[in-house]
């Protein structure tokens, strides 16, 4: 039985799905205006493990993780780069996919984009207007927090204390400072970049919160099991999603369990682009740090606790994985029918206690090292690898792990050479190097900012 900490009830609860034959989970995905930092990656890795666990316990699991491709940050990025919204969001969506694949994250079942769900968003806003939960004002449509007395159930905020909207609300004719925007009119930049849609309330674009309510409804229906995201989204984003969805669909529970991952921090401060303290997944990868090392580093700390990022986190993870991979020398587990360790699964079932599951792997490693019986050693190793792979670790063979380490330097050297060749407009050499890398089994792609990913 799976137990999960539910932010809504502030308790660790037994997970009882609405329908055991089909578990449904929605997680807030990236805003695609830049490449992912490891804080974003933490959220993806955590729900990736939860997805694997649920799949192993229940017949069918639908996991929806959206792409936020309508947002001020994307519009600003397109405007600054003199580019189109579409090319910015397409480019960064692809980069996100590549980076998450590098750290062994599986794809979600559906990955809806806000731009592809405008009709649903408009439909939902219409329900809210018809039922008196929303109102039009000064070409905007707002959600009225006072129309939903349970507002604050997730975050503990009280309607009377809400003033977060007051500063931005000036001149927007809100009835209450906590009211938030569902639809806003197009401005000059929106017209310039075509980032607007027709609606019954004029040309404009949706607010961020309504996008997630509409996409979860479109792909999972009114009620579903789990809603996840980083703890930064608890308020106001998730609180507002609850208010919108439960107001639009009277009697619905919306999400039954709310799961939030803790922050990834630097010097105890949230990793965030606005604080200029981000470490990007792709920069770590191009610096020769293996995807599995990044993944291990993100899994080492319990998902609800803050994870402070230091040089040590990477080096310790590298050392541990080296130790684990050494056990695989001469072992092929491809045809093995070994099972994932029971203790390992039990740890995951206990509110996704991944550090405890990793401790089980360490214990297994010790046993493997101690035993002299070759048969037993092989059996233990097979179960050890099966368990590690359950959470996306030890996906490579001993040879691949240790040889790619050596080749890293060489790959980096060749990429640097190719960059220099391209700068000199020596495209012949650049193409030859690309071919040479291909022969080594390395495919490369050039990024907008002049860097190369492989
Ligand atoms: P964003 O691209 O900012 O919309 O965020 C995408 C996901 O990453 C959301 O679930 C966020 O809560 C999560 N996230 C962003 N920054 C961090 C951080 N520093 N630590 C943990 N999760 C984060
Ligand atoms: Zn969301």
Residue in 40, 215, 298 to alter for ligand 1 test, most ligand atoms within 8 A of Cβ: 40
Ligand nearest to the CA of 92: 1
Closest CA to 288 of 399, 412, 443, 417: 412
Say if CB 338 and CB 382 are below 8 A apart. yes
Q: How far is the CA of 434 from the centre of ligand 2 (A)?
A: 40
pLDDT tens track for 208-225: 999 999 999 999 999 999
Q: Indicate the DSSP class of residue 264.
A: E
Mean pLDDT over 326-354 rounds to: 93
pLDDT at res. 165: 46
Both tokens of residue 156? 């503990």
Q: Which residues, 6 or more positions from 360, have their beta carbon under 8 angstroms from its beta carbon?
A: 341, 343, 344, 347, 387
Ligand nearest to the CA of 242: 2
**What value does the mean pLDDT of the chain take?**
93
Q: How far is the CA of 26 from the centre of ligand 2 (A)?
A: 9
Q: Which atom of ligand 1 is nearest to the CA of 28?
A: 10
Write down the pTM of the prediction: 0.89
Element (H, E) at 228: strand 224-230
pLDDT tens track for 162-181: 875 444 444 568 999 999 99
Ligand nearest to the CA of 269: 1
DSSP codes joined into one string, 404-442: HHHHHHHHHHHHHHHHHHHHTT-HHHHHHHHHHHHHTT-
pLDDT band at 192 (very low <50, low <70, confident <90, very high): very high
Closest CA to 422 of 410, 433, 437: 433
Both tokens of residue 373? 């019986």
Q: Is 424 left (phi over 0), alpha (psi -120 to 50) or beta?
A: alpha
Residue in 232, 268, 305 to alter for ligand 1 test, most ligand atoms within 8 A of Cβ: 232
How far are the Cα atoms of 28, 102, 321 from residue 211, in angstroms, in the given order?
10, 28, 40
Distance (Å, whole) CA 160 – CA 153: 14
Q: How far is the CA of 126 from the centre of ligand 1 (A)?
A: 30
Q: Are strands 22-27 and 60-65 parallel, antiparallel or unpaired?
A: parallel
Q: Which residues, 6 or more positions from 276, have their beta carbon under 8 angstroms from its beta carbon?
A: none
Closest CA to 111 of 68, 146, 75: 68
Q: Are strands 180-185 and 140-143 parallel, antiparallel or unpaired?
A: antiparallel
Mean pLDDT over 17-32 rounds to: 97
Q: Which has the higher per-residue pLDDT, 314 or 409?
A: 314
Q: Give the largest Cα separation in the chain, rounded.
A: 78
Would you say residue 398 has pLDDT above 70?
Answer: yes
pLDDT at res. 164: 55
Q: Report the chain's C-alpha Rg in angstroms.
A: 24
How far are the Cα atoms of 118, 265, 281 from residue 298, in angstroms, in the given order?
34, 12, 11
Would you say residue 75 has pLDDT above 90?
Answer: yes
Three-state DSSP class for 20? coil
Q: Which residues line ligand 1 (CB under 6 A)?
A: 28, 30-31, 39-40, 42-43, 68, 229-230, 232-233, 261, 263-264, 270-272
Place of tokens 């097979």: 382
Residue in 39, 261, 269, 278 to alter for ligand 1 test, most ligand atoms within 8 A of Cβ: 39
pLDDT at res. 407: 59
């Amino acid at each position: 039985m799976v137990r999960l900490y539910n932010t809504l009830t502030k308790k660790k609860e037994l997970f009882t799905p609405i329908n055991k034959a089909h578990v449904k989970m929605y997680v807030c995905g990236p805003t695609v205006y830049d490449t992912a930092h490891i804080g974003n990656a933490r959220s993806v890795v955590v729900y990736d493990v939860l997805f694997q666990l649920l799949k192993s316990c229940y017949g069918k699991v639908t996991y929806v993780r959206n792409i936020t491709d309508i947002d001020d940050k994307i519009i600003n990025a397109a405007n600054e780069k003199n580019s189109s919204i579409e090319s910015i969001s397409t480019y960064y969506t692809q980069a996100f996919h590549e980076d998450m694949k590098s750290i062994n994250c599986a794809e979600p079942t559906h990955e809806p984009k806000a731009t592809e769900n405008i009709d649903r968003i408009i439909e939902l806003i219409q329900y809210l207007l018809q039922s008196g939960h929303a109102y039009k004002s000064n070409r905007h449509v707002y959600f009225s927090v006072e129309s939903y007395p349970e507002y604050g159930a997730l975050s503990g905020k009280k309607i009377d204390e809400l003033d977060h909207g007051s500063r931005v609300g000036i001149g927007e004719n809100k009835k209450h400072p906590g009211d938030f925007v569902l639809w806003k009119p197009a401005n000059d930049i929106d017209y310039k970049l075509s980032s607007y849609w027709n609606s019954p309330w004029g040309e404009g674009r949706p607010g961020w919160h309504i996008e997630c309510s509409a996409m979860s409804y479109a792909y999972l229906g009114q009620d579903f099991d789990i809603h996840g995201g980083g703890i930064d989204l608890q308020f106001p984003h998730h609180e507002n999603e609850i208010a919108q969805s439960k107001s639009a669909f009277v009697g619905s529970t919306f999400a039954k369990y709310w799961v939030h991952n803790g922050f990834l921090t630097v010097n105890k401060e949230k990793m965030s682009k606005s604080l200029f303290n981000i470490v990007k997944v792709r920069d770590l990868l191009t610096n020769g740090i293996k995807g599995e090392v990044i993944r291990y580093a993100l899994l080492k700390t319990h998902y609800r606790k803050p994870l402070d990022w230091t040089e040590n986190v990477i080096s310790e993870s590298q050392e541990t994985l080296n130790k684990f991979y050494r056990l695989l020398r001469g072992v092929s587990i491809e045809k093995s029918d070994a099972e994932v360790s029971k203790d390992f699964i039990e740890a995951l079932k206990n509110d996704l206690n991944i550090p405890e599951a990793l401790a089980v792997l360490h214990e297994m490693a010790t046993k493997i090292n101690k035993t002299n019986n070759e048969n037993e050693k092989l059996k233990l190793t097979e179960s050890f690898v099966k368990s590690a792979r359950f959470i996306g670790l030890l996906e490579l063979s001993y040879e691949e792990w240790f040889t790619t380490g050596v080749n890293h330097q060489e790959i980096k050297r060749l990429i640097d050479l190719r960059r220099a060749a391209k700068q000199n407009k020596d495209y012949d050499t650049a193409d030859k190097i690309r071919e040479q890398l291909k022969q080594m089994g390395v495919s490369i792609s050039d990024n907008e900012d002049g860097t190369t990913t492989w």
